[in-house]
Chain A
Amino acid sequence: MSSAFAIEARGLSKDFGSLRAVDGLDLNVPRGQIYGFLGPNGSGKSTTIRMLCGLLTPSEGTALVLDTAVPGETKALKPKIGYMTQRFSLFGDLTVLENLQFIAEIYSYPAADRSQRIGNLLDRYDLVQQKSQLAGTMSGGQRQRLALACAVLHHPELLLLDEPTSAVDPQSRRDFWENLFRLAGGGTTILVSTHYMDEAERCHRLAILDHGVKVADGTPRELQDATGMHIIEVSAENPYEAQAAIHDLPEVASVTQLGVRLRVLIPQSYEHPVKRIEASLAAKKLQATTQLSEATLEDVFVAVTRKAESDTT
């Protein structure tokens, strides 16, 4: 019996000594979708991915990955998942072609179709020119394309990508995401961790991790609608002083400066947020225009991680 979810995790936790890297994570990743892990460094993204593919044993909790129990006999799982490590992990002293051949042999890809498959991948991931180049001498973007080509060579059902775009330029990131969407369109489930907001926004669904705890999950739209915050945008002539004036108001959850604009988050339990801010700016005789705004994913991120902080203190 096949579950509707590629990954179902219940109470997944991992301790490293006294540090709890992942704490009671519940996760439902639907098949054929791109699911994002958004969180700062050290929030437990890599640890979770490593637990899901059997590299790390969870301290507590279980998961069902492609109907295989984790922790458990993960041997049967290996041929069905593709994994792209955060650090480039292919062989720098082998050429692009040799790396692909090696991966094909390790996954016992049918010998008759091997060269055709590799040829297709070289085309698809724009590596034909670099075919005979040593992988270690390539640029970040080229390495990343090679890593992805190697991860998908054996047609995995589930692709685990650990911060795949952290070392590449914006154009490469765009191309990379196009590739991900095409793979998802072909039925591959993709779990991708990132700390870029724009990437998180492109996922079908995402979970926000903070200090090993899942603080929110849903589609980007759902998350933006459910911040529980008024978002007020303040355009001030002197944003620095304006920030100082607003920051100390008891109702303000956070103030973020974007150029001359300030984004102010106030919990929805307070009424008339715009008036409150205008009043405090007027008191300091500061020139500014104020308006309500839609929540971006960044606002969501700030809101949920702040909430987690105030919960613990």
Chain B
Amino acid sequence: MISASRIMAIVKKEVRQLRRDRLSFGMVVGLPVIQMLLFGYAINTDVRNLRTAIVDQAQTHLSRQFIAELAQTQVVDIVEYAQTMPELESLLRRGRISIGVALPADFDRRVALRSRSAVQLLVDGTDPTILGVANQLRSMPFDFDVTPSAARWQLVETRPYYNPERRSPVNIIPGLMGVILTMTMILFTAVALVRERERGNLELLINTPLSSAELMVGKVIPYIVIGMLQLALILGVGRLLFDVPVRGSIVDLYLAATAFVAANLTLGLLISTAAKTQFQAMQMMVFILLPSILLSGFMFPFDGMPSFAQYIGEALPNTHFIRLTRGIMLREAGLGEMLPDLLYLVGFTLVAMIIAATRFSKRLD
């Protein structure tokens, strides 16, 4: 028989303990803000100011005009002028520059004749993002470009929906929400039971009429509330600093987040029933956290991953939550349109809760 008052007793105790634990309390507020700032500002696929060196063997009026216009794009940041091609290659190899621009001695003639390309870009291809940016430079219009407009006719045209300015934070923040919640929520409950085992509290608790299910539910409830607070914090900071919109319904977003937070908390409890020490619980958490960052579609497009990685990704709650948040926040999708992802989170919570409550025996052996 489940007793609501016993569950409330656990909830009250957890809240009191959390309030006195400054480190955990700091984690509730500090971790989301720090991560938002780090990810929001550092992860930027919209690359600018690539360090660049130039070899201008033409030294003509036209070549200097080209270099000036190149600098104006702000895509490149000209840090050095080299004399020879080997010198340019050496700079590239030593990592001093990401792009080397070589203008041959017959630059003017090549521009006039349009027979061979007049500019050579030496690109550090170890980073595909930089290579992509360099490719964009190819289609740059230049003032002296006298080609008739017909020649620049495009067969295919792209129209960026939902993020026309192509700003990275718009893509990053909804995903980051999932990563932050995964990290804090699993951590809270993963150490919750183990800590009580280590401190000896569990030996007392299992000798009371308290049932496993009551203990589990009581431990999850306060953190759902904390998860909601974190969500509000992330949305607020996202709005204020990165102008990330919530185009869909905020109620839908909160419903999705509740399911997601509950899924992570029960996953944490599951870890807690398997781990012997808090340190072990942390180690196990890394095994969840890393794929949640790498395989969830947060960092890399889900479609591009090999199928086995997609299977792992599909199992992770974060994958489904990121789909939900991007859908609701950016594409103005309704929760009804994304039902499978929501149902997965609910199902995950139920199954994990049952396994955790069964695994946690009220015995010491």
Contact = CB atoms under 8 A, between A and B. Distances in A.
Contacts of B164: none
Interface stretch (A23-31, A52-60, A193-201, A240-248): A52-60
A288 interface: no
B21 A93 contact: yes
B191 to A, nearest CB: 14
A78 B204 contact: no
Contact of B208 (A50, A93, A106): A106
B204 A83 contact: yes
Interface stretch (B12-20, B26-34, B74-82, B153-161): B12-20
Interface residues of A, number: 29
Contact of B9 (A90, A102, A134): A102
Interface string B193-222: 000000111111111111000000000000
B13 A78 contact: no
A89 B203 contact: yes
Contact of A92 (B199, B203, B362, B364): B199
Contacts of B210: 106
B98 to A, nearest CB: 52
A87 interface: yes
A79 B243 CA distance: 57
Given A87-B200, A92-B199, A106-B210, A55 B364 contact: yes
Given A50-B364, A54-B363, A94-B13, A107 B201 contact: no
A53 B16 CA distance: 29
B105 to A, nearest CB: 77
A91 B200 contact: no
A169 B251 CA distance: 59
B209 A93 contact: no
B51 interface: no
A176 interface: no
Contacts of B17: 91, 93-94
Q: Is the interface of A mostly helix, strand, loop or mixed?
A: loop
B200 A55 contact: no
A108 B5 contact: yes
Contact of A89 (B6, B200, B362): B200
B228 interface: no
Nearest to B214: A106
A42 B81 CA distance: 79
A53 B210 CA distance: 14
A57 B363 contact: yes
B204 A90 contact: yes
A103 B201 CA distance: 12
A225 interface: no
A175 interface: no
A98 interface: yes
Contact of A85 (B6, B20, B200): B200
A81 interface: yes
B3 interface: yes
Contact of A91 (B8, B201, B207, B209): B201
Given A50-B364, A85-B200, A108-B3, A102 B13 contact: yes
Contacts of A107: 208-209
B365 interface: yes
A105 B207 contact: no
Interface in A68-94: 75, 78-79, 81, 83, 85, 87-94
B8 A55 contact: no
Interface in B329-365: 362-365
A88 B13 contact: no
B221 to A, nearest CB: 15
Given A90-B201, A91-B201, A55 B6 contact: no
A134 B201 CA distance: 15
A242 to B, nearest CB: 47
Between B5, B201, B202, the greatest number of chain A beta carbons within 10 A of the residue's beta carbon is seen for B201
B222 to A, nearest CB: 14
25 contacts: A53-B207, A54-B363, A55-B207, A55-B365, A56-B364, A56-B365, A57-B363, A81-B207, A83-B204, A88-B200, A89-B202, A89-B204, A90-B201, A90-B204, A93-B20, A94-B13, A98-B13, A102-B9, A103-B208, A105-B12, A106-B208, A106-B209, A107-B209, A108-B6, A150-B204
The 8 closest A-B pairs by CB, nearest first: A105-B9, A89-B204, A89-B200, A87-B200, A83-B207, A106-B208, A78-B209, A55-B364
Interface of B: 3, 5-6, 8-9, 12-13, 16-17, 20-21, 199-210, 362-365
Given A56-B364, A85-B203, A107-B209, 11 more contacts: A54-B362, A55-B364, A93-B16, A93-B21, A94-B17, A98-B13, A102-B12, A105-B5, A106-B208, A106-B210, A150-B204
Interface of A: 50, 53-57, 75, 78-79, 81, 83, 85, 87-94, 98, 102-103, 105-108, 134, 150
